[in-house]
């Protein structure tokens, strides 16, 4: 990467992925052009459709090629539910999770913010402005399971959650760093250490140890079940949540729901050591039911592009996208606009 | 058990446990007395306080004695957060979970219902009336984990989720049976089979197989992250949810929150084969911060007693308690009443 160009990998994916990514690229191009930065794009055909055509999920050469880029903008992948031609989970694991794991995206960053007038399902949402720092490279997501006597009455199926001091410490430290730069400077660890004792205690001990390096940051702990209660009764209490891969998956969908839906929820899969490109994607899926109809909200993809710019150091351009999104979102009255109309409006607002 | 008496084990536990259990027993006694049934009670001192005094969690003799009872009414256990005298999780695992596992409480039944005027945090909750059938004896709760090189930078901590055809099938069949007896006759399996492939596919295959025995029951599937979204955007869609031990833990706290809080959420830990007594407990914890002040809401404990009667076949008495609770809850205006005032009002309403 040079300051005057960005070498971007684009993976539009399936369903509404290509539609929302087209708008994100539109906004991204305009935002960086204003700073004299060229956006060099390489598009990759990957996902369920591509698998149906070729049987490929993520070939090694493609992964190697992706490694040479500055960052990845990702749409969404996944076949229609009930499409029995695709073994369930194969695209998720052999493509999306393979990217996150291979490129060591250990910080899965998911900000949650309620914008003025956007509809929260909560009667009294209050001010919602927190980030979830979800671990992205271990935990129950490692694919370490198996089944014995599958399909018989004696079947035993296991799933192993793997947690390492290395993996937990780096993401916990990232959460404290981010908290330290925020106004409220508060970290909440979410786990279930009264049941998942070994993993839970590794997380707790690590938080205690890292907290000592950040005397300006306060911290507390919530069991994951209690955290979901506060998410709907008192979401204002959260500033920075740090949690494992699975709890983070669950909490961030709930967080998206209370802040107006996954049409707005952005995420970054970040390699903070920059040993490989980071990947930015909307939290939503491929929504095959509305694909190709111009009905998808590209806002989450556009906000993901803003996170991408921020990660690459184009802070001002990132802020301008965010501001344009906020301005657009605050004007929304529930009326339907097409995917490209929303993209155009946000681009115009830059 | 004879039809004219119930041999009840009572475990009040810690914090607000004794207070809410006193009200539940009060209501229970009155409800069965009206049918000429005697309530024989044996109280057991167990929990965090008891551990501090004696170092005992659940001695074998006590467990053996509990096995001879018809049913167990359980309050809540757990020390104050931050009480460092008690190793975290020890009471939960060596007492509460030990009871659930030893007595083979494979159906953790948690009904969720929004009563007329009770405050849901949702702006438009609609009609909420579903039950969660949470697996209670396996999954990530088996305590099968460990740590290697604990406390060093090379620590690895694991947690193993164990799932068996036997364990999954019996709870799935229970869910379909319950659905079959309900008006909407619909089962939703909640899991995360696109990531937790082995366990997830065992659950999915089992649901497909059992569904074939219940042609009158429809069913669908949701990933756990998506389920939390629907819980706040469209809870009316749920009728019977069947899910594993950990997802069930998370979803039922969220379900309690959207139906007016854990002050109302009842549960049964049920051994459907009746090889050991079942145990009924409010979903809430011991709430040490408000213990001994008469501030706790005994409604969840009272509704748990109603589930207990239903399980023992005292259907009419169970319904009368439920009706008295509903009548009381629908009159609530947010004004504070003491624990015993609420218990008295519900008892009077029988
Ligand atoms: C598609 C799935 C594998 C993925 C996850 O569980 O991480 C998604 O739910 C997400 O949150 O990005
Ligand atoms: C106390 C704890 C072990 C328990 C659980 O996780 O099952 C509680 O949260 C519950 O839901 O009954």
The predicted structure's pLDDT at residue A177: 98
Q: Are residues B66 and B162 located together in one domain of the fold?
A: no
Residue B146 covered by a domain: yes
The predicted structure's pLDDT at residue B83: 82
Torsions phi, psi of B333, nearest 5?
-120, 15
Q: Are residues A229 and A280 located together in one domain of the fold?
A: no
Q: What percent of chain A has pLDDT over 90?
A: 91
Whose tokens are 């996208």? That residue is A321
Q: Which of B259, B283, B310 is the last residue of a domain?
A: B259
How far CA A167 is from CA of A101, A145, A194, A199, A321, in Å, comes to 12, 19, 21, 12, 32
Structural domain range at position A214:
120-259
For residue B328, what is the domain's CATH number?
3.40.718.10
Percentages (nearest 5) of helix, strand, coil residues in chain A:
40, 25, 35
Which is the closest atom of ligand 2 to the Cα of B78?
A: 1
Task: Sort out which chain A residues have CB atoms less than 8 A from B156's CB and list them.
Answer: 162-165
Q: Are residues B244 and B328 located together in one domain of the fold?
A: no
What confidence tier does B117 reach under pLDDT thresholds 50, 70, 90? Answer: low
Beta sheet of A107-113, edge-to-edge order = A38-43, A5-13, A71-76, A278-282, A266-270, A107-113, A129-135, A240-243, A186-191, A218-223
What confidence tier does B299 reach under pLDDT thresholds 50, 70, 90? Answer: very high
CA distance B259 to B115: 8
Q: Are residues A317 and A248 located together in one domain of the fold?
A: no
The predicted structure's pLDDT at residue A119: 83
Is B160's C-beta closer than 6 angstroms to any atom of ligand 1? no
Six-digit token pair at B55? 């170092």
Task: Sort out which chain A residues have CB atoms less than 8 A from B229's CB and list them.
Answer: 253-254, 256-257, 262
Residue A115 covered by a domain: no
CA distance A204 to A251: 18
The predicted structure's pLDDT at residue A117: 62
The predicted structure's pLDDT at residue B94: 95
The count of structural domains within chain B is 2
Is A195's C-beta closer than 6 angstroms to any atom of ligand 2? yes
Question: Nearest ligand, CA of residue B286?
Answer: 2
Is A14's C-beta closer than 6 angstroms to any atom of ligand 1? no
Nearest-CA residue for ligand 2 atom 3 is: B92
CA distance A46 to A11: 7
Q: Which of B259, B274, B290 is the last residue of a domain?
A: B259
Residues B316-326 have a mean pLDDT of 97
Is B127's C-beta closer than 6 angstroms to any atom of ligand 1? no
The predicted structure's pLDDT at residue B344: 98
Task: Give me Rg for the CA atoms of chain B.
Answer: 20
Q: Is B273 a catalytic residue?
A: no
Catalytic residue numbers of A read: 141, 192, 225, 249, 253
Q: Are residues A176 and A254 located together in one domain of the fold?
A: yes
From the list B104, B115, B129, B192, the catalytic residue is: B192
- The answer on pLDDT for B228 being more than 60 is yes
- The answer on pLDDT for B159 being more than 80 is yes
Is A135's C-beta closer than 6 angstroms to any atom of ligand 1? no
Q: Which of A207, A227, A259 is the last residue of a domain?
A: A259
Q: Are residues B101 and B174 located together in one domain of the fold?
A: no
- The answer on pLDDT for A229 being more than 70 is yes
- The answer on pLDDT for A2 being more than 90 is no
From the list B70, B249, B297, B328, the catalytic residue is: B249
Six-digit token pair at B325? 């609770």
DSSP string across B179-216: HHTSSS-EEEEEE-TTTSHHHHHHHHHHHHHHHTT-TT
Q: Is the pTM of this model over 0.85?
A: yes
How far CA A274 is from CA of A98, A163, A316, in Å, comes to 17, 22, 21
Q: Are residues B105 and B11 located together in one domain of the fold?
A: yes
Residues B205-217 have a mean pLDDT of 98
Q: Which of A243, A242, A164, A244 is nearest to B157 (CA)?
A: A164
Q: Is A289 buried (19+), middle (13-18) or exposed (0-12) by CB count in 10 A?
A: exposed
Q: Are residues A285 and A253 located together in one domain of the fold?
A: no
Which of A122, A137, A159 should be substituted to probe chain B, the one whose Cβ sees the most B Cβ atoms within 10 Å? A159
Task: Sort out which chain A residues have CB atoms less than 8 A from B79's CB and list them.
Answer: none
Residue B115 covered by a domain: no
Q: Are residues B174 and B250 located together in one domain of the fold?
A: yes
Q: Which of B349, B254, B249, B250 is nearest to B299 (CA)?
A: B349
Residue-wise pLDDT for B9-38, tens only, equals 999 999 999 999 999 999 999 999 999 999
Whether residue B133 contacts residue B109, with contact meaning beta carbons closer than 8 Å, is answered with yes
Q: Rounded mean pLDDT of chain B?
A: 95
CA distance A322 to A27: 11
Q: Name beta bridge partners: B280.
A: B73, B268
Residue A297 covered by a domain: yes
Higher pLDDT, A112 or A262: A112
- The answer on pLDDT for A273 being more than 70 is yes
Residue A204 covered by a domain: yes
- The answer on pLDDT for B103 being more than 90 is yes
Task: Sort out which chain B residues have CB atoms less than 8 A from A246's CB and list them.
Answer: 192, 195
Residue A338 covered by a domain: yes
Q: Are residues A235 and A286 located together in one domain of the fold?
A: no
Higher pLDDT, A93 or A2: A93
Q: Are residues A250 and A177 located together in one domain of the fold?
A: yes
Six-digit token pair at B275? 């090889």
Residue B10 covered by a domain: yes
Q: Are residues B220 and B305 located together in one domain of the fold?
A: no
Residue A114 covered by a domain: no
Q: How many CB pairs under 8 A join A and B?
A: 213
How far CA A290 is from CA of A12, A15, A286, B226, B237, in Å, comes to 16, 8, 9, 17, 20
Residue-wise pLDDT for A137-186, tens only, equals 999 999 999 999 999 999 999 999 999 999 999 999 999 999 999 999 99
Residue-wise pLDDT for A6-44, tens only, equals 999 999 999 999 999 999 999 999 999 999 999 999 999
The predicted structure's pLDDT at residue A286: 93
Q: Rounded mean pLDDT of chain A?
A: 95
């Amino acid at each position: 990467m040079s300051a005057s160009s960005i070498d971007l990998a684009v993976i539009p994916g399936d369903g509404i992925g290509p539609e929302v990514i087209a708008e994100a690229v539109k906004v991204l191009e305009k935002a960086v052009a204003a700073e004299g930065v060229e956006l060099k794009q390489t598009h990759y055909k990957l996902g369920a459709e591509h698998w149906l055509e070729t049987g490929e999920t993520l070939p090694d050469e493609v992964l190697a090629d992706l490694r040479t880029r500055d960052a990845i903008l990702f749409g969404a992948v996944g076949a229609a539910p009930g499409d029995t031609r695709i073994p369930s989970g194969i695209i998720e694991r052999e493509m999306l999770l393979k990217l996150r794991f291979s490129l060591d995206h250990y910080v899965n960053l998911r900000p949650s913010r309620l914008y003025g007038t956007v509809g929260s399902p909560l009667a009294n949402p209050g001010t919602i402005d927190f980030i979830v720092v979800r671990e992205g490279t271990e935990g129950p997501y490692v694919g370490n399971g198996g089944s014995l006597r599958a399909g018989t009455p004696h079947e035993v199926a296991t799933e192993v959650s793997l947690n390492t001091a290395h993996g937990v410490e780096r993401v916990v430290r990232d959460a404290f760093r981010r908290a330290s730069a925020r106004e409220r400077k508060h970290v909440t660890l979410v786990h279930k250490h009264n049941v998942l004792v070994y993993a839970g205690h590794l997380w707790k001990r690590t938080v205690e140890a890292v907290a000592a390096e950040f005397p300006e940051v306060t911290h507390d702990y919530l069991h994951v079940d209690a955290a979901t209660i506060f998410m709907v009764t008192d979401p204002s209490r959260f500033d920075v949540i740090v949690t494992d891969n699975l709890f983070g998956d669950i909490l961030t969908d709930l967080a998206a729901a209370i802040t107006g839906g996954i049409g707005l929820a952005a995420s970054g899969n970040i390699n903070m050591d920059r040993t490989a490109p980071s990947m930015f994607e909307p939290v939503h899926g491929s929504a095959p039911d509305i694909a190709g109809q111009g009905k998808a909200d590209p806002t989450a993809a556009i906000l993901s592009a803003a996170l991408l710019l921020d990660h690459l150091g184009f802070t001002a351009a990132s802020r301008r996208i965010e501001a344009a999104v906020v301005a657009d979102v605050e004007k929304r009255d529930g009326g339907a606009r097409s995917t490209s109309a929303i993209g155009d409006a946000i681009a115009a607002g830059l």
